[in-house]
Protein backbone atom coordinates (compact mmCIF):
# COMPACT_ATOMS: atom_id res chain seq x y z
CA UNK A 1 0.00 0.00 0.00
CA UNK A 2 1.09 3.55 -0.69
CA UNK A 3 2.72 4.88 2.49
CA UNK A 4 0.81 8.18 2.33
CA UNK A 5 -2.55 6.41 2.04
CA UNK A 6 -1.55 3.92 4.76
CA UNK A 7 -0.56 6.75 7.08
CA UNK A 8 -3.82 8.60 6.38
CA UNK A 9 -5.99 5.54 7.01
CA UNK A 10 -4.22 4.80 10.30
CA UNK A 11 -4.56 8.43 11.40
CA UNK A 12 -8.29 8.42 10.63
CA UNK A 13 -8.83 5.14 12.49
CA UNK A 14 -6.97 6.37 15.58
CA UNK A 15 -8.72 9.75 15.55
CA UNK A 16 -12.10 8.02 15.41
CA UNK A 17 -11.27 5.81 18.39
CA UNK A 18 -9.25 8.27 20.47
CA UNK A 19 -10.99 11.56 19.77
CA UNK A 20 -9.81 12.95 23.12
CA UNK A 21 -6.16 12.75 21.96
CA UNK A 22 -4.37 15.03 19.51
CA UNK A 23 -3.60 12.25 17.05
CA UNK A 24 -3.15 14.61 14.08
CA UNK A 25 -0.34 16.56 15.76
CA UNK A 26 1.37 13.33 16.81
CA UNK A 27 1.18 11.79 13.34
CA UNK A 28 2.76 14.91 11.85
CA UNK A 29 5.93 14.03 13.76
CA UNK A 30 6.31 10.75 11.86
CA UNK A 31 9.20 10.25 9.47
CA UNK A 32 9.01 7.90 6.50
CA UNK A 33 12.00 6.03 7.89
CA UNK A 34 10.35 5.41 11.27
CA UNK A 35 9.61 1.80 12.20
CA UNK A 36 6.41 0.86 13.98
CA UNK A 37 8.47 0.27 17.12
CA UNK A 38 9.73 3.84 16.89
CA UNK A 39 6.19 5.17 16.44
CA UNK A 40 5.01 3.12 19.43
CA UNK A 41 7.71 4.67 21.60
CA UNK A 42 6.83 8.14 20.36
CA UNK A 43 3.22 7.52 21.43
CA UNK A 44 4.45 6.53 24.88
CA UNK A 45 6.23 9.89 25.10
CA UNK A 46 2.78 11.50 24.95
CA UNK A 47 1.54 9.45 27.89
CA UNK A 48 0.64 11.22 31.13
CA UNK A 49 -1.80 10.91 34.01
CA UNK A 50 -4.45 12.92 32.16
CA UNK A 51 -4.15 10.95 28.91
CA UNK A 52 -3.45 7.29 29.75
CA UNK A 53 -5.04 6.19 26.47
CA UNK A 54 -1.72 6.79 24.68
CA UNK A 55 -0.65 3.31 25.84
CA UNK A 56 -3.33 1.86 23.55
CA UNK A 57 -2.15 4.02 20.65
CA UNK A 58 1.37 2.69 21.24
CA UNK A 59 0.00 -0.85 21.32
CA UNK A 60 -1.73 -0.32 17.94
CA UNK A 61 1.57 0.78 16.41
CA UNK A 62 3.44 -2.16 17.89
CA UNK A 63 0.76 -4.56 16.66
CA UNK A 64 1.04 -3.09 13.16
CA UNK A 65 4.72 -4.01 13.23
CA UNK A 66 3.92 -7.56 14.40
CA UNK A 67 1.40 -7.99 11.57
CA UNK A 68 3.96 -6.92 8.99
CA UNK A 69 6.59 -9.27 10.43
CA UNK A 70 4.21 -12.24 10.27
CA UNK A 71 3.00 -11.38 6.78
CA UNK A 72 6.60 -11.42 5.62
CA UNK A 73 7.75 -14.53 7.49
CA UNK A 74 4.69 -16.61 6.54
CA UNK A 75 4.26 -15.08 3.09
CA UNK A 76 0.61 -14.16 3.65
CA UNK A 77 -1.26 -11.08 2.41
CA UNK A 78 -3.27 -10.47 5.58
CA UNK A 79 -2.82 -11.29 9.23
CA UNK A 80 -4.89 -14.06 10.83
CA UNK A 81 -5.27 -16.10 7.67
CA UNK A 82 -4.13 -19.61 6.67
CA UNK A 83 -4.30 -20.95 10.22
CA UNK A 84 -4.47 -24.65 9.15
CA UNK A 85 -1.31 -24.16 7.09
CA UNK A 86 0.43 -22.55 10.08
CA UNK A 87 -0.35 -25.54 12.31
CA UNK A 88 0.88 -28.02 9.72
CA UNK A 89 4.06 -26.12 8.87
CA UNK A 90 5.12 -25.53 12.47
CA UNK A 91 4.53 -29.18 13.34
CA UNK A 92 6.75 -30.17 10.41
CA UNK A 93 9.42 -27.67 11.53
CA UNK A 94 9.45 -29.13 15.05
CA UNK A 95 8.06 -25.97 16.66
CA UNK A 96 4.52 -27.14 17.40
CA UNK A 97 3.61 -30.33 19.28
CA UNK A 98 2.60 -33.26 17.06
CA UNK A 99 -0.48 -33.82 19.22
CA UNK A 100 -2.05 -30.89 17.37
CA UNK A 101 -2.33 -33.28 14.40
CA UNK A 102 -5.40 -34.62 16.18
CA UNK A 103 -7.33 -31.67 14.75
CA UNK A 104 -8.62 -32.13 11.22
CA UNK A 105 -8.28 -29.49 8.53
CA UNK A 106 -12.02 -28.80 8.78
CA UNK A 107 -11.73 -28.27 12.53
CA UNK A 108 -8.78 -25.92 12.06
CA UNK A 109 -10.74 -23.93 9.50
CA UNK A 110 -13.62 -23.55 11.96
CA UNK A 111 -11.19 -22.37 14.62
CA UNK A 112 -9.65 -19.82 12.24
CA UNK A 113 -13.14 -18.44 11.61
CA UNK A 114 -13.70 -18.22 15.38
CA UNK A 115 -10.65 -16.02 15.93
CA UNK A 116 -11.40 -12.35 16.57
CA UNK A 117 -8.52 -10.10 15.45
CA UNK A 118 -10.18 -7.04 17.00
CA UNK A 119 -9.50 -8.51 20.44
CA UNK A 120 -5.88 -7.45 19.92
CA UNK A 121 -7.11 -3.94 20.71
CA UNK A 122 -7.50 -4.92 24.39
CA UNK A 123 -3.74 -4.87 24.88
CA UNK A 124 -1.84 -2.03 26.47
CA UNK A 125 1.64 -1.41 25.11
CA UNK A 126 3.42 -3.28 27.92
CA UNK A 127 0.97 -6.14 27.59
CA UNK A 128 1.51 -6.76 23.88
CA UNK A 129 5.26 -6.10 24.14
CA UNK A 130 5.63 -8.69 26.90
CA UNK A 131 3.48 -11.24 25.05
CA UNK A 132 5.45 -10.82 21.83
CA UNK A 133 8.89 -10.89 23.45
CA UNK A 134 8.32 -13.88 25.72
CA UNK A 135 5.44 -16.05 24.55
CA UNK A 136 4.58 -15.89 20.84
CA UNK A 137 6.01 -18.73 18.75
CA UNK A 138 9.14 -17.93 16.80
CA UNK A 139 11.42 -19.74 14.41
CA UNK A 140 14.70 -21.02 15.79
CA UNK A 141 16.38 -17.93 14.34
CA UNK A 142 14.00 -15.62 16.22
CA UNK A 143 11.64 -14.83 13.33
CA UNK A 144 8.10 -14.17 14.54
CA UNK A 145 5.59 -16.76 13.32
CA UNK A 146 2.55 -16.38 15.56
CA UNK A 147 0.15 -13.58 16.50
CA UNK A 148 -1.68 -13.00 19.82
CA UNK A 149 -5.06 -14.49 18.87
CA UNK A 150 -3.29 -17.51 17.39
CA UNK A 151 -1.44 -18.01 20.69
CA UNK A 152 -4.74 -17.99 22.58
CA UNK A 153 -6.21 -20.46 20.10
CA UNK A 154 -3.25 -22.84 20.16
CA UNK A 155 -3.28 -22.84 23.98
CA UNK A 156 -6.98 -23.71 23.92
CA UNK A 157 -6.42 -26.45 21.35
CA UNK A 158 -3.68 -28.03 23.42
CA UNK A 159 -5.70 -27.94 26.63
CA UNK A 160 -8.70 -29.60 24.92
CA UNK A 161 -6.85 -32.02 22.65
CA UNK A 162 -7.98 -35.12 24.55
CA UNK A 163 -11.63 -34.09 24.86
CA UNK A 164 -14.25 -36.09 22.92
CA UNK A 165 -14.06 -35.21 19.24
CA UNK A 166 -17.77 -34.44 18.95
CA UNK A 167 -17.57 -31.54 21.41
CA UNK A 168 -13.88 -30.60 21.25
CA UNK A 169 -14.17 -27.67 18.86
CA UNK A 170 -16.86 -26.01 20.96
CA UNK A 171 -14.74 -26.42 24.10
CA UNK A 172 -11.76 -24.90 22.31
CA UNK A 173 -13.90 -21.95 21.22
CA UNK A 174 -15.14 -21.44 24.77
CA UNK A 175 -11.61 -21.47 26.17
CA UNK A 176 -10.38 -19.17 23.40
CA UNK A 177 -13.18 -16.68 24.07
CA UNK A 178 -12.24 -16.43 27.75
CA UNK A 179 -8.53 -15.99 26.96
CA UNK A 180 -9.01 -13.49 24.13
CA UNK A 181 -11.35 -11.34 26.22
CA UNK A 182 -8.78 -11.41 29.04
CA UNK A 183 -11.36 -12.96 31.38
CA UNK A 184 -9.04 -15.89 32.01
CA UNK A 185 -5.32 -16.41 31.99
CA UNK A 186 -3.07 -19.45 32.32
CA UNK A 187 0.13 -20.16 34.22
CA UNK A 188 3.33 -18.79 32.69
CA UNK A 189 4.63 -22.19 31.46
CA UNK A 190 1.26 -22.88 29.80
CA UNK A 191 1.25 -19.47 28.16
CA UNK A 192 4.78 -19.99 26.87
CA UNK A 193 4.73 -23.68 26.01
CA UNK A 194 1.20 -24.93 25.24
CA UNK A 195 1.15 -26.31 21.72
CA UNK A 196 4.90 -26.12 21.35
CA UNK A 197 7.09 -29.21 21.11
CA UNK A 198 8.26 -30.56 24.47
CA UNK A 199 6.53 -27.74 26.32
CA UNK A 200 6.02 -28.00 30.08
CA UNK A 201 2.57 -26.74 31.12
CA UNK A 202 2.77 -26.86 34.92
CA UNK A 203 4.33 -24.16 37.03
CA UNK A 204 4.61 -25.67 40.54
CA UNK A 205 6.41 -28.86 41.56
CA UNK A 206 7.26 -30.54 44.86
CA UNK A 207 10.31 -32.79 45.17
CA UNK A 208 11.16 -34.96 48.16
CA UNK A 209 14.86 -35.28 48.92
CA UNK A 210 15.99 -38.54 50.50
CA UNK A 211 18.92 -38.71 52.90
CA UNK A 212 21.54 -39.94 50.44
CA UNK A 213 23.94 -38.31 48.01
CA UNK A 214 22.35 -39.65 44.80
CA UNK A 215 18.90 -38.35 45.78
CA UNK A 216 20.31 -34.93 46.66
CA UNK A 217 21.99 -34.51 43.28
CA UNK A 218 19.05 -36.03 41.38
CA UNK A 219 16.93 -33.32 42.97
CA UNK A 220 19.39 -30.69 41.71
CA UNK A 221 18.96 -32.07 38.19
CA UNK A 222 15.17 -32.02 38.56
CA UNK A 223 15.30 -28.42 39.75
CA UNK A 224 17.37 -27.34 36.75
CA UNK A 225 15.04 -29.09 34.29
CA UNK A 226 11.89 -27.62 35.81
CA UNK A 227 13.36 -24.13 36.10
CA UNK A 228 14.57 -24.17 32.50
CA UNK A 229 10.97 -24.52 31.32
CA UNK A 230 9.54 -21.86 33.60
CA UNK A 231 8.43 -23.94 36.58
CA UNK A 232 9.00 -23.43 40.27
CA UNK A 233 10.17 -26.14 42.65
CA UNK A 234 9.74 -26.72 46.38
CA UNK A 235 11.95 -29.22 48.19
CA UNK A 236 10.70 -31.15 51.17
CA UNK A 237 13.31 -32.60 53.57
CA UNK A 238 10.81 -34.26 55.91
CA UNK A 239 11.88 -37.80 55.10
CA UNK A 240 15.53 -36.93 55.58
CA UNK A 241 14.83 -35.41 59.00
CA UNK A 242 12.56 -38.21 60.16
CA UNK A 243 14.93 -40.93 59.01
CA UNK A 244 17.86 -39.65 61.06
CA UNK A 245 17.00 -40.20 64.75
CA UNK A 246 20.26 -38.52 65.77
CA UNK A 247 19.22 -35.19 64.20
CA UNK A 248 20.61 -32.21 66.11
CA UNK A 249 18.39 -31.02 68.95
CA UNK A 250 17.90 -27.27 68.54
CA UNK A 251 17.32 -26.87 72.27
CA UNK A 252 20.71 -28.31 73.16
CA UNK A 253 23.00 -26.56 70.67
CA UNK A 254 21.45 -23.19 69.70
CA UNK A 255 24.73 -21.26 69.85
CA UNK A 256 26.66 -23.68 67.66
CA UNK A 257 23.84 -23.85 65.13
CA UNK A 258 23.63 -20.07 64.87
CA UNK A 259 27.18 -20.02 63.49
CA UNK A 260 26.88 -22.82 61.06
Give per-residue pLDDT as tens, 203-251: 777 888 888 888 888 888 888 887 877 677 777 776 655 555 554 444 4
- Please state the rounded mean pLDDT for residues 176-196: 93
Question: Which pLDDT does position 7 carry in this prediction?
Answer: 67
Q: What percent of the chain has pLDDT over 90?
A: 68
Q: Which residue has the higher pLDDT, 90 or 239?
A: 90
Computed over every residue of the chain, the mean pLDDT equals 88
User: Which residues are within 8 A (CB) of 177 and not within 5 positions of it... i.e. 6 or more apart?
Assistant: none
- Please state the rounded mean pLDDT for residues 76-105: 96
- Please state the rounded mean pLDDT for residues 156-184: 96
Q: Are 123 and 136 in contact (CB under 8 A)?
A: no
Distance CA 108, CA 144 (A): 21
Distance CA 209, CA 5 (A): 65
Q: Is the model's pLDDT at 139 over the cut of 90?
A: yes
Return the domain boundaries, the chain: 1-75, 80-124+131-201, 204-258
Q: Are 88 and 20 in contact (CB under 8 A)?
A: no
Global confidence as pTM: 0.81
Alpha helices per DSSP H over 28-82: 36-44, 54-74
The mean-pLDDT minimum among 77-81, 90-94, 211-215 falls in 211-215
Q: Are 197 and 95 in contact (CB under 8 A)?
A: yes
Amino acid sequence: MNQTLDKKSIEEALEAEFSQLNIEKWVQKWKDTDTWDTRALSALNELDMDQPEWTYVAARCYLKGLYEQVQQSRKIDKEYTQFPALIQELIEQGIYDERLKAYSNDELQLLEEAMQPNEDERFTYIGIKTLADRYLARHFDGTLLELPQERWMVISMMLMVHEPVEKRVELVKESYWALSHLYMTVATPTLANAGKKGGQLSSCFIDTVEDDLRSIFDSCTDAATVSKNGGGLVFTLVRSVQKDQAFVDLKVYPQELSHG
